[in-house]
Amino acid sequence: MSQEVFNKVQQAVNEKFPGAIESAELTFNFPAFVIKKEFIHQVLEFLKTDEEQNFHFLTDLTGFQTADEKQLGVIYHLHNMIKNHRVRIKTFFDINKPEIPTATDLWDGANWMERETFDFYGVKFKGHPNLKRILNMDEMDIHPLRKEFPLEDQTREDKDDKMFGR
């Protein structure tokens, strides 16, 4: 079933937006597509509104940073509840220009997910109606889930690294 969903989504997106898909894979029976940043909003809108695709539910949206620390990305998990089809959509962009169109005009539920992604990764969702921090203090001038920020408090003196296998 997942291979069929993978093939149908890939074919439909390729026909509607030639060159939009950077890569596609079926991992653990889960269709995943990397979409070029300049096509992301159009592809998401198509996957939601096209009668055949009908991915009308945004299950999750979150940010991430690549291992080389040069790019940020956003992952969208979409669900067609009628057919019980799921798909993962990813997009990447330069960490120095972390901007991407909002999905709040497609799914109301994207609102807080985009705010959380902004809060922790600094991704600016252009067109978002209220893009401000949602969990961290407004005074914070960092985005704490970026890799340039250490996971542990470097000022603590009560920790012995030998206890942690270092």
Q: Rounded to whole angstroms, how far apart are CA atoms 90 and 123?
A: 14
Number of domains the chain contains: 1
pLDDT, residue 148, reads 81
Tokens 């159009």 belong to which residue?
Answer: 42
Say if residue 164's pLDDT is above 80.
no
Q: Residues 6 or more apart from 8 whose CB is under 8 A from it?
A: 52, 53
> What letters, b where the CB count within 10 A reaches 16 and e where it falls short, cover 74-83?
bbbbbbbeee
Q: Rounded to whole angstroms, how far apart are CA atoms 58 and 106?
A: 9
Output the domain CATH number for residue 68.
3.30.460.80
- Identify the band that residue 166 occupies on the pLDDT scale cut at 50, 70 and 90: low
36: three-class secondary structure by DSSP: coil
Say if residue 97's pLDDT is above 90.
yes
Say if residue 38's pLDDT is above 90.
yes
The whole domain housing 12 covers 2-164
- Identify the band that residue 1 occupies on the pLDDT scale cut at 50, 70 and 90: low
